[in-house]
Structure 1
Amino acid sequence: MRSTKITSENLEEMFDRGEDVTEFFDFDSAVVEDKTETKRVNVDFPAWVVEALDREARRIGVGRQAVIKTWIAERLDDEAARRSA
């Protein structure tokens, strides 16, 4: 974690440009409250999809699983909004 102070606006601008902003977070003391029941699923992807997911994960500084979860959740939200419109 970087000891230099940064404004939320600067942090957001860096994130939007695709810069790695993880140095500004203290993951050792982070608290995550996840009261959502989870279920494990296995999905097989072609190698090119896994490689693309890994590139995107590196670009935004998160793990592959986070990319998959986020993209699927976004798509489900979009579909739900489309159906209710």
Structure 2
Amino acid sequence: MKAKSLDKKFDENQSDILDEFDLSTVKRPNQTQKRVNVDFPTWMIDSLNAEASRLGVTRQSIVKVWLAERLEHSIFNKSSNRTQ
């Protein structure tokens, strides 16, 4: 399908344009998974388990979210310090 045809189909809401793509090969940049092992003290595991239980999510989810937040915060602070 040509780009103009796809644009027209999208603009006219003729149907779901995702049907036109092969999504089986789609990859998100910088989102591939890599397994790592981290050792935590028992008190930290207990605290993570309690917080995960309180929120109704897995311990792994808590760790991922908190690490992502911290890394984003660090990256933001580094970039804002450079512009000053």
TM-score, scaled relative to structure 1 = 0.59
Question: In the alignment, what sits opposite 1:54?
Answer: 49
1:76 equivalent in alignment to 2:71: yes
2:64 maps to amino acid: K
Displacement of 1:56 after TM fit? 0.4
* Structure 1 vs Structure 2 CA RMSD: 1.2
* Regions of 4+ moved over 2 Å: none
5+ long unaligned stretches in structure 1: 1-33
- Give me the whole-angstrom Cα distance separating, in 2, the residues matched to 1:81 and 1:59: 29
Displacement of 1:41 after TM fit? 0.1
Higher RCO (CA 8 Å, separation ≥ 6 residues):
1
Displacement of 1:69 after TM fit? 0.2
- Identity, % of aligned positions: 46
Choose 1 or 2 for highest CA Rg: 2
What is the correspondence of 1:35-50 to structure 2 with a 5 Å cutoff? 35=28, 36-50=31-45
CA deviation map 1:12-62 (0-9, x unaligned): xxxxxxxxxxxxxxxxxxxxxx84201000000000000000000001100
Choose between structure 1 and 2: higher helix proportion.
2
5+ long unaligned stretches in structure 2: 1-26
SS at match of 2:71: helix
Equivalent pairs, count: 52
